Amino acid sequence: MDKKLQEKTVLFDAMKKHLANRVVRFDVPGHKGGRGNKQFRDFIGLDAMQMDVNSMKPLDNLCHPTSVIKEAQDIAADAFGAKEAYFMVSGTTGAVQAMIMSTCKAGDKIIIPRNVHRSAINAMVINGTIPVYINPGLNKKLGISLGMSVKDIEKAIKENPDAKAILVNNPTYYGICSDLKSIVKLAHKHNMLVLVDEAHGAHFYFGDNLPISAMAAGADMAAISMHKTGGSLTQSSILLSGERINADYVRQVINLTQTTSASYLLMTSLDTARKNMSINGKEIFKKTVEFAEYAREEINKLGGYYAYGKDLINVDDVFDFDTTKLSIYTKDVGLAGIEVYDILRDEFNIQIEFGDLDNILAIISAGDRAMEIERLISSLAEIKRIYTKDPKGMFDHEYIAPTVVLPPQKAFYAEKKMIPISESSGQISGEFVMAYPPGIPILAPGEKITDEIIDYIEYAKEKGCLLTGTEDMKVENINVVIE
């Protein structure tokens, strides 16, 4: 990393220069620097509204960057140790889809864990790539899926030597990391590319004593959620690529689905967040880890809860753990994670990242304050005191291994009929069912519906999970494939 280069914010500087010129606006957006929407301007501020501009020569164009956006992306590539970096304004969803669609074509196989984010399966629905699913490891007590075992990947490669790529979640939502370096070495030995969904790992590039980053491990592409742990605005992400990837082709693929009206608020936030991370990252993530480790220790002292960390490492399907993640098992106090999630928000005014059936996740950053960490700990203590009940009869695991009958694209576009979910056992799903967050499908198009899956869906609804993906907005009916 070139430290002098990382001091620059070329896109942000170009924006400030443009605004200083007081250019008369006869282009879009129609709010004309906020004058046409005073209520919103007064709420978010004049500067933000004035920065909301359209592409123009002084500010470059994200679809075909040749000046300040191109230079900002090159500086980002240097920061992340990549050959190329692409600013994404369609979130890491867009970055994951671009990875798959630029390395796999219709009919190509990709080796992929089944606990992927919906964006990966959506990409296969769009372009016809065929998934070769690997069931991740499972911690039955916690009810969470883990990483991918290298042995399972070896088996998948042996059975599918024609696969084009392997996709790895690193880390998972819960902080679990696979043996990324060994996976890359194995994949490259068999002429396969490695794509990494690094949505929750932007900080791996800049902190000390954190799990290895995708680019450091030699991966070919990585999708980075800068807005999650890197400090940029929501919906802004960065896609990285290495030496084996045709960067200009990737840009063409990105342009198939990404907007031609890229937000300069998002792009300049990426430029400045990258500078902050590259210059101050070690200090930022040292503080983040200290906050998370303190909270983990104190929560475990409460009893009933289990805030897990590096103690899960088994050098197989848990090769490493992201200590910035505060993942907490709640089932032993007789509460589903989603119930604790709701109580924290509704009664203690604390918003955490998500709750599933067994766990909650609190995102910790250096932007937190010590008093807020203490407030979270004391609130969990109060919830335990007030709401503890017998956990007997609670759902005993989270991940259900799927039976794949049809490729996602074929099932999604097949002739379908809508029937009650309660009556769908034995049918082939023609759509998704997932709890959001985290957006990992319970059911994906082409998978067989079982009694266990139906029970899981009903239990998740009963506990208050937000279920999404079905055409039926009430998630009472499901489209199944007409065979």
pLDDT of residue 119: 94
Check: CATH 3.40.50.1110 for 3-278? Answer: no
**HEC profile for the chain?**
CCHHHHCCCHHHHHHHHHHHCCCCCCCCCCCCCCCCCHHHHHHHCHHHHHHCCCCEHHHECCCCCCCHHHHHHHHHHHHHCCCEEEEECCHHHHHHHHHHHHHCCCCCEEEEECCCCHHHHHHHHHHCCEEEEECCCEECCCCEECCCCHHHHHHHHHHCCCCCEEEEECCCCCCEECCHHHHHHHHHHCCCEEEEEECCCHHHHCCCCCCCCCCCCCCCEEEECHHHHCCCCCCCEEEEECCCCCHHHHHHHHHHHCCCCCCHHHHHHHHHHHHHHHHHHHHHHHHHHHHHHHHHHHHHHHCCCEEECHHHCCCCCCCEECCCEEEEECHHHCCCHHHHHHHHHHHHCCCCCEECCCEEEEECCCCCCHHHHHHHHHHHHHHHHHHCCCCCCCCCCCCCCCCECCCHHHHHCCCEEEEEHHHCCCCEECCCEEECCCCCEEECCCEECCHHHHHHHHHHHHHCCCEECCCCCCCCEEEEECC
Q: Please state which CATH class domain 282-387 belongs to.
A: alpha beta
* Section 73-87 average pLDDT: 98
Q: Where are the domains of the chain?
A: 3-278, 282-387, 408-481
pLDDT of residue 439: 81
Instruction: Check pLDDT > 90 for residue 398.
Output: no
pLDDT of residue 131: 96
* Section 114-134 average pLDDT: 94
* Section 91-105 average pLDDT: 97
Q: What is the pLDDT of residues 152-181, one digit of tens each?
A: 999 999 999 999 999 999 999 999 999 999
Instruction: Check pLDDT > 80 for residue 395.
Output: no
CATH fold of 408-481: Molybdopterin biosynthesis moea protein, domain 2 (3.90.105)
pLDDT of residue 401: 81
Higher local confidence (pLDDT), 396 or 107: 107
